[in-house]
Amino acid sequence: MLDLLQSFLLIEFNWSILETVAVIFSLLYVFLAAQQNNLCWPAALISVSIFIYICFDAKLYAETALQIFYFIMAIYGFYSWRKNNSELQISTWSIGKHLYIILLGTILTFFLGFLFTNFTDAEMPLIDSFTTVFSVFATYMVVKKILSNWLYFIVIDIISIYMYFSRDLHLTSLLFLLYTFIALAGFIKWNRLSIKLND
């Protein structure tokens, strides 16, 4: 354990102003989303705009495509939450629906991983594909206020910590560590609100 801590302390962190700004707005997005605050979506627009460049530069092509998807979903989410704020309540999906998403997501992950492995110079193509595919599903769940989106994001965030750290995007790796804790807090808060609404 001591050796692991010493190794971590010896790492030269790769800091950049651009990445720092993206991280700040990403944290703001997740925090505001957990509060069901519609301002989360403008914060997301700023962060993903920057991450499109960062991910492409790091040769994480699936993540680049994911950031473009996030950009579109941020616009859709803003208008959806604004228009349906009084009607759109936290809800849940059936186990069957989640099993379908997991099966479909796994197939898409291996398909994208195969494409990126054989036709691009992508780094970590399978892990990159996994986080991308399941983030698409989870982001759609956020827009629709599906409670379990937070559970998907906890898994995605933990895997993303390793992926970004391996690509020397240390600040982004720390961001995903924070995301993990915020997603856990978001799940607890939304679950309490859901119970209160159903009482």
pLDDT digits (tens, 9 = 90+) for 132-152: 899 999 999 988 889 999 999
Picking from 133, 171, 191, the residue whose alpha carbon sits closest to that of residue 23 is: 171
Q: Could you give the CA distance from residue 176 to residue 153 in angstroms, rounded to a whole number?
A: 10
Please compute the mean of the pLDDT values over residues 39-52 and round it to a whole number. Answer: 94
pLDDT confidence tier of residue 25, bands split at 50, 70 and 90: very high
pLDDT confidence tier of residue 33, bands split at 50, 70 and 90: confident
Contact predicate 103/137, CB 8 Å: no
